[in-house]
Structure 1
Amino acid sequence: MIEKIIQRLKLEYYIPQRNKAEGKARYYEMCVFDLESKNQNEKLTNRLKARLDYDRYMKALWYEELVKINLKISRIEDD
């Protein structure tokens, strides 16, 4: 009984973090997509190239965070 309550509390802690990571990953994915499509149509300035590199890095970072959180959630659900 107590274990189920603790399990539920852990899920309530990690689910908002997962939602945040999903949102951030999607946001940076859209930013990368927009800049890459702009890059095909016209040459990017150095500032936009730097922004594209930053967005790619942040996208990878948030997807990595999302994988970690999903792993934690799956471990909690399996117990």
Structure 2
Amino acid sequence: MSAQQKDDIFALGENLQETQKKLQEFGKEQSAFLTGLVEKNMNFQKEQYDLWSKIIQNQVAHNNNILQDYVKIAGGSVKKAPPSK
């Protein structure tokens, strides 16, 4: 094998090592990005769940108030039967 071929093989080995390091760095960056994205998505879903919970609680409270008003109205309009003789 000639000296030039040996140099070429050595240079190729160095290039492969550099490429591998760059790929590892890219993989770490990509992993960090995806982890951040998953965390943001989970936070968004929690906020959405909390918001829907509040909406439902408010609707239930509103419906209960309406029912109480109906009971008051109905209770006020019920006339007592005259006493039996």
TM-score range, shorter chain: 0.3 to 0.5
Bigger Rg, structure 1 or 2: 2
Flag the structure with higher helix content.
1
Using the size of structure 1 for normalisation, the TM-score is: 0.45
